Amino acid sequence: MDVMIRLVEDDEVAGYNADTIIKATVESLIAGGADTTTVMLTWTLSLLLNNYHALKKAQEELDTHVGKNRQVNESDIKSLVYLQAVVKESMRLYPAAFLGGPRAFTKDCNVAGYHVPKGTWLLINIWKLHRDPKIWSNPCEFRPERFLTPDQKGLDARLIEFEFIPFGAGRRSCPGITFASQMLHMVLATLLQNFDISIQNGAPVDMSAINGLTNAKATPLEVLVSPR
């Protein structure tokens, strides 16, 4: 807010006053971060319910590093390495936006031998990159442990690692990455610390997605929740 108030000082920018521009910008950041975080929480819980051993392992880690006498807080997240791996693996398999944000070329380019004229729209197939068998072993398998190995442990969605870009990369990467990352880890940790979750009929959770800019789950996630 401080940066925007300092930068947007003119009363009229493109026909809008400073207050309108700041309000619209903040609203876009919150709306984009809230919707995608909700989508990612739904996918993460679905994956954990289909891989119950991973859910119990995440809860055991919380019991070890946080305990049951206080609530988990933000400073605890750095110690919850398995929880972080669960989040990364969920974002790898089901990024909130399969095709990322649209881009446009600002000048003529040659990419892999193809001529791409200025103004061409570009969509990155993040789903394909994250499931490339040349990079990921058993790419369709939910295995958080892959992010605990020495060669993958350093992968971070906030860094430019092109094999793992759930938030995109470069100047057009998601501006809400810090907000989304904090919220996703904190909400998931709080939920798993305080509640046991299960499926009523024991059947696997449907993992089909709908078409759209946001990768939402096609069917509602219905679970039984009970205090731990």
Per cent of the chain over pLDDT 90 is 54
Highest mean pLDDT among 145-154, 168-177, 208-217: 208-217
pLDDT, mean of residues 189-196: 96
**What's the pLDDT tens digit per position in 4-45?**
888 887 666 677 888 888 898 888 777 777 778 889 999 999
CATH number at 139 reads 1.10.630.10
Residue-number span of the structural domain to which 191 is assigned: 2-227
Q: At what angle do helices 177-194 and 52-65 cross, to 10 degrees?
A: 90
Under DSSP, the state recorded for 28 is H
Tally of domains in the chain: 1
Q: What is the pLDDT of residue 150?
A: 72
**153, 213, 196: which is closest to 63 by C-alpha?**
196
Q: What is the pLDDT of residue 188?
A: 97
Phi, psi of 127 (to 5 degrees): -55, -45
* Average pLDDT over all residues of the chain: 88
In degrees, to the nearest 5, what angle opens at C-alpha 155 toward C-alphas 129 and 77? 125
pLDDT bin (cut points 50, 70, 90) of residue 155 is: low
